[in-house]
């Protein structure tokens, strides 16, 4: 047997072994899959990208929430109350909660599905917070990941998660990143909050739980992405591919392509690079796999430039990417809530801050008091 054939056979055998291990850990992937990456490059550039994979259209819109909004946790009289310190731009899900967003200090919050999530049994002695406000609570109150964990790590509230309007359970985990490149993954497992904190935690998908995904990623780094990469749409495979691709794209100005970038800007090049990673791990719109009915199509992607405070939105159902510069928004206390309606296929392109319209906020989905 030739050396090449022997190497190929060893690689395939190893692939089969780790695939079986991954499948045993994964079980059936949820119908709500997503991917998040965190890019750090030259000149202090930090960019977070995420995809939203879902089994149906979520009727998402973009919203601008200024600072100074008084909120409560929407889970009964013992819910926490707060006044937002920071303005933010968010993408709604079903017009009942914030699924993704960035605030004026560059903190980004991304909610991704995790079927293993267990928030624990409701406890009448603890302050309750509806799951619909978890993302917004972080964006309203914190400028950095460290600030967020200083509060959230002490568990000032318990998450109460009623089902979605379509009846599906709302089991999610949360990623946070800031303009300094710090990162955190928050998961509720067996009723306990588990936090992974540090700049090394750049990738996040869905099942299995984060600690097990890290173990799988370590294996594949040993194999090497140029030798073999797992190619299915399962969360663990997307994690590995996103990790390899994020490491591979340039972290500085690329002379091979910069001539085609607007203003020959490295920042724009990096945004395009992160968007290309998100598209590479996306699931084609309308895909149907008979023996894997739970895999879902990517319906939209966001890329958050945390240095320049620009929030990019890329839909799978319309032809153009558009973006919002937070510098062009009025986020001061007393400013109106603003909405960019996209839930009926409206098409936008370029910078769209001037297209938002003053609109009363959607109602965050309430949860029953424990």
Residues 264, 254: Cα–Cα separation, whole Å: 10
Q: What is the pLDDT of residues 233-244, one digit of tens each?
A: 888 888 899 999
Token pair for 298: 């990517």
Number of domains in the chain: 1
pLDDT at 215: 84
- Cβ proximity of 340 and 348 under 8 Å: yes
Of 50, 40, 65, 36, give the one whose Cα is nearest residue 306.
40
Q: pLDDT-based confidence at 258, cuts 50/70/90?
A: very high
Q: What is the pLDDT of residues 270-301, one digit of tens each?
A: 999 999 999 999 999 988 666 665 578 999 99
Candidate list 26, 34, 161, 274, residue with the active-site label: 34
The backbone region for 24, taken as left when phi is positive above 0, alpha when psi lies in -120 to 50, beta otherwise, is alpha
Q: pLDDT-based confidence at 29, cuts 50/70/90?
A: very low
Residues 217, 242: Cα–Cα separation, whole Å: 10
DSSP 7-42: HHHHHHHHHHHHHHHHHHHH-SPPS--EEEEEEE-G
pLDDT at 225: 60
The answer on pLDDT for 20 being more than 50 is: no
Q: Is residue 7 part of a domain?
A: no
Q: Is the dihedral of CA 135, 298, 39, 117 positive or negative?
A: positive
Q: Is residue 283 part of a domain?
A: yes
Angle between helices 235-248 and 210-223 (to 10 degrees): 60
The answer on pLDDT for 226 being more than 50 is: yes
The answer on pLDDT for 6 being more than 50 is: no
Q: To 5 degrees, how large is the angle CA 179–CA 181–CA 187?
A: 105
The answer on pLDDT for 77 being more than 50 is: yes
DSSP 195-212: EEESTT--EE-SSS-HHH
Find how far residue 178's CA is from the centre of its chain: 13
Q: Is residue 21 part of a domain?
A: no
Q: Is residue 113 part of a domain?
A: yes
The answer on pLDDT for 71 being more than 80 is: yes
Q: Is residue 8 part of a domain?
A: no
- Cβ proximity of 189 and 208 under 8 Å: no
**Most confidently modeled range among 159-168, 213-222, 253-262:** 253-262
The answer on pLDDT for 249 being more than 60 is: yes
The answer on pLDDT for 4 being more than 60 is: no
Q: Is residue 204 part of a domain?
A: yes
Q: pLDDT-based confidence at 130, cuts 50/70/90?
A: very high
| Arithmetic mean of pLDDT, 78-82 | 98
Phi, psi of 350, deg, nearest 5? 70, -160
How many CB atoms neighbour CB 345 within 10 A? Answer: 9
| Arithmetic mean of pLDDT, 86-113 | 98
Containing domain of residue 310, as a range? 26-358
Active site residue 12: no
Q: Is residue 11 part of a domain?
A: no
pLDDT at 288: 67
Find how far residue 2's CA is from the centre of its chain: 45
| Arithmetic mean of pLDDT, 174-194 | 98
Residues 325, 352: Cα–Cα separation, whole Å: 8
The label of the residue with tokens 């749409």 reads 233
| Arithmetic mean of pLDDT, 214-232 | 73
Q: pLDDT-based confidence at 79, cuts 50/70/90?
A: very high
Helices and strands (DSSP H and E) totals, the chain: 6, 20
- Portion of the chain with pLDDT greater than 90, in percent: 74
Q: Is residue 36 part of a domain?
A: yes
Average pLDDT across the chain, whole number? 90
Among 28-32, 136-140, 200-204, the least confident range? 28-32
Looking up residue 120, the CATH number of its domain turns out to be 3.60.60.10
Find how far residue 215's CA is from the centre of its chain: 21
Q: Over the Cα atoms of the chain, what is R_g?
A: 20
Among 96-100, 101-105, 207-211, 294-298, the least confident range? 294-298
The answer on pLDDT for 85 being more than 80 is: yes
Token pair for 344: 């009926």
| DSSP H or E run through 271 | helix 266-280
Of 211, 284, 282, 201, give the one whose Cα is nearest residue 243.
201
């Amino acid at each position: 047997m030739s050396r090449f054939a022997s190497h190929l056979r060893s690689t395939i055998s190893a692939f089969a072994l780790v695939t079986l291990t991954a499948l045993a850990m994964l079980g059936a992937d949820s119908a709500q899959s997503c991917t998040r990456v965190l890019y750090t490059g030259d000149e202090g550039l930090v960019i977070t990208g995420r995809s939203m994979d879902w089994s149906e259209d979520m009727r998402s819109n973009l919203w601008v929430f200024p600072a100074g909004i008084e909120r409560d946790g929407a889970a009964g009289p013992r819910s926490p109350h707060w006044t937002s310190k920071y303005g933010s731009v968010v993408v709604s899900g079903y017009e009942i909660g914030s699924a993704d967003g960035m605030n004026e200090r560059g903190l980004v919050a991304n909610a991704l599905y995790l079927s293993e999530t267990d928030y624990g049994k409701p406890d009448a002695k603890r302050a309750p917070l509806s799951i619909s406000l978890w993302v917004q609570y972080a964006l309203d109150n914190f400028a950095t990941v460290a600030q967020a964990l200083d509060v959230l790590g002490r568990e000032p509230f318990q998450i109460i998660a009623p089902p979605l309007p379509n009846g599906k359970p709302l089991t999610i985990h949360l990623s946070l990143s800031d303009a300094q490149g710090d990162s955190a993954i928050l998961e509720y497992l067996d009723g306990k909050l588990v936090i992974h904190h540090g700049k090394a935690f750049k990738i996040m998908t869905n099942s299995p739980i984060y600690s097990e995904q890290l173990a799988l990623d370590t294996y594949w780094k040993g194999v090497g992405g140029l030798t073999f990469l797992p190619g299915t749409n399962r969360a663990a495979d997307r994690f590995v591919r996103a990790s390899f691709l994020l490491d591979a794209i340039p972290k500085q100005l690329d002379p091979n392509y910069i001539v085609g970038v607007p203003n020959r800007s490295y920042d724009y090049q990096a945004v395009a690079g992160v968007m290309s990673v998100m598209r590479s791990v996306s699931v084609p719109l309308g895909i149907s796999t008979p023996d894997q009915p739970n895999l879902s199509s990517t319906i939209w992607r966001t890329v958050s430039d945390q240095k320049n405070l620009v929030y990019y939105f890329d839909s799978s159902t319309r032809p153009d990417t558009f973006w919002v510069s937070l510098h062009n928004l009025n986020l001061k206390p007393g400013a109106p809530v603003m909405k960019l309606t996209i839930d009926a296929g409206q098409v936008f392109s370029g910078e769209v801050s001037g297209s938002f319209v003053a609109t009363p906020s959607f109602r965050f989905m309430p949860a029953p008091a424990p």
